A and B are shown apart, each in its own frame.
Chain A
Amino acid sequence: MPSSTPASASIDAVEAPQARGRSIWRDALVRLRRSRGAILGAVILAVIIAAVLGAGVLSPYDPLAVDASTGFIPPGGAHPVGTDILGRDLGTRILYGGRLSLMTGIISVSFALVIGVPLGLASGYYGGNVDRLLMRVVDLMLTFPGILLALVIIAVLGPSLLNAMIAVGISASPTYARVVRSTALAAKTEAYIEAARALGCSSLRIIARHILPNTIAPIIVLGTLGVAGAIIAAAALSFLGLGAQPPQPEWGALLSEGRSYLRRAWWMTAFPGLAIMVTVLAINLLGDGLRDALDPRLRT
């Protein structure tokens, strides 16, 4: 439908009292600013992202260049967190690995969203048999512990970082489908949806323009916390040898490398793990703050 027709104009008028919509987000921002945890999380996360992106500027070393003469140097001096067996600067490898780990978290969650959100929207909006069938599948997927499902997928697709992300994404998707469905169900009964339907909007348009915006707040919250979970899950798979493969400096893979030298070089295990923990902690703090600010009902 071309946007210049009168019908569409009235639909846009029905769409939402814009001022009220904006004030919900502004309220949320005010609440978020009041949460000390969220601010702390956001600041730490910003520092981590800046450091990881600026790895080339921050570190004079190459993350992959091997130099046997500088192997196993303990933390301090020119190598603040030491070097590994092949003489590579560990700090540099952690910084470059951070790019990979953060990306893994974001991509896994994107996979989960791409699968979960449409399923949830369809289930919630159409109801009936579509809903029953989809939710039966989702329930079944939720019957399995997430990592087990991920392991099944890896066993089938074979070990690699991409497959690890797909596995983590698929196994997280049912949670998104559920939450989006319940939000869509609630939104469906609103008067403006009925109005849009009366004006002749197609189902697809109603879902995209009127239902989807309602689900954004819970998606932001779940997605943020999901990135934290996905980073840990993907690192765990890499640690087990089922995700990133050497010499990729992903955090889980770095830790797995370090574990073989725990007796001689504890720093090779300690620091990559610390990097994972601080990052995940920051994202969790931010996510908790976002949840309290945007959607208090999701509070555990």
Chain B
Amino acid sequence: MLQYIAKRLLLTIPTIVAITLMVFTMLHAVPGDPATIFAGDKNVTPEQLAVVRRSMGLDRPLTVQYLDYLTRVLTGNFGRSLYSQRPVSIEISQRWPSSAELAASAFVLASTLGLVLGIISALWRSTWIDASAMLFAMLGVSMPIFWLASMLIFVFGITLGWFPVIGSGGWNRLVLPALALGLISSATLARLVRSSVLEVLSQPFVTTARSKGLAEFKILARHVLKNAFIPVITVMGLQFGTLLSGAVITETVFARRGIGKLLIDSILIKDFPIIQAVIMIISLAYVLINLLVDVSYALLDPRIRFD
């Protein structure tokens, strides 16, 4: 098992290197001179640009710049925001708790709802229960999250006045965003859980368990769900990535001060140090979560760790 974890850890290294490379390259891939980004949109003279280039180290070879970038990032130094002039690390540390809170609560909601709906429709296959659960899931897959979020604001925030409509802080400001994000993600999960449970139900060992006279509940708990969850866990890990990006949209709709909204605002004003840092952090979080998923996968399924 330890060997498997070590192997899996080693495999993430190239991914992390690739992420840092991509984030570093972003700045240089922008059409034109990267120095103009730091100089702002004002009309600058070539001499001023040269000063910026020298002070930012943009006149050095790319490999040197990349290594320098890596060293700075490893020490948590992401530079300063071009807009607010504050250190990027401070901007982000003030914002991430709001995003984490949103992603975590939406994840809990999505997992619970997705699992329950998926299992129920598999067990009552081809009945009206199955049909309505899958209709819900189909609607969820087809519904734009920004629309659902806006409609939730309109119905529960404006018309009924149950919840505050925008801003972050306090549980009552979390309900609607978490609901929007969670409902959308639960749909994909429900469809997957259903097909996974159905597949396990058709396996010979389920027939054997039934012919032994095992209670249906025990068959479900001991034989079916444990096996059906293996593919589901991978997708739940991937769903977390979807949640992270869904959070970008949800935060914008609800004007929550999270890192997703920070990213969009920064893209609109070309605040590159912040864009780079946020992309890096979200990608790393995603890689880390997938690592955890793979490890738990191996814990659940001995076939993987002995492969």
Contacts and interface: CB of A to CB of B under 8 A. Distances in A.
Contact of B142 (A155, A270, A277): A277
Q: Which secondary structure dominates where chain A touches chain B?
A: helix
B26 interface: yes
A236 B146 contact: yes
A256 B31 CA distance: 28
B26 A152 contact: yes
Contacts of B112: none
A273 B142 CA distance: 11
B150 A273 contact: yes
Interface in A249-271: 252, 255-256, 258-259, 262-263, 266, 269-270
Interface in A144-181: 144-148, 151-152, 154-157, 159
Contacts of A272: 147
Given A263-B158, A273-B151, A300-B191, A242 B142 contact: no
Interface residues of B, number: 46
Contacts of A155: 26, 267, 270, 272, 275, 279
B172 interface: no
Interface stretch (A49-57, A79-87, A279-287): A279-287
A140 interface: yes
A169 B248 CA distance: 20
Given A144-B286, A146-B245, A259-B150, A242 B279 contact: no
A103 B31 CA distance: 26
B288 to A, nearest CB: 12
A299 interface: yes
A259 B22 CA distance: 34
Interface residues of A, number: 43
B224 interface: no
B219 to A, nearest CB: 24
B141 A284 contact: yes
A145 B241 contact: yes
Interface string B21-57: 0100010011100000000000000000000000000
Contact of A269 (B139, B151, B268, B282): B151
B192 interface: yes
B138 A262 contact: no
Contacts of A148: 241, 244-245, 279, 282-283, 286
Contact of A277 (B139, B263, B268, B279): B139
Contact of B249 (A157, A240, A300): A240
B83 interface: no
Contact of B154 (A255, A266, A281): A266
Contacts of B304: none
B261 to A, nearest CB: 10
Contacts of B29: 156
Contacts of B282: 145, 148
A145 B260 CA distance: 13
A74 B29 CA distance: 47
A228 interface: yes
B169 interface: no
Nearest to B29: A156
Interface in A48-69: none
A23 interface: no
Given A152-B26, A240-B252, A269-B150, A281 B245 contact: no
Given A148-B286, A152-B279, A154-B267, 7 more contacts: A147-B248, A148-B241, A151-B264, A155-B275, A241-B268, A262-B154, A277-B142
User: Which 3 pairs from chain A and chain B are nearest by CB?
Assistant: A273-B147, A145-B241, A281-B142
Interface of B: 14-15, 18, 22, 26, 29-31, 138-139, 141-147, 150-151, 153-154, 158, 191-192, 195, 241-242, 244-245, 248-249, 252-253, 263-264, 267-268, 270, 272, 275, 279, 282-283, 286-287, 290
28 contacts: A140-B14, A143-B18, A144-B241, A145-B241, A147-B248, A148-B244, A148-B245, A151-B264, A155-B26, A155-B275, A156-B29, A228-B142, A235-B146, A236-B249, A239-B144, A240-B248, A240-B249, A240-B252, A240-B264, A259-B253, A262-B158, A269-B151, A270-B151, A273-B144, A276-B147, A280-B142, A280-B143, A284-B141
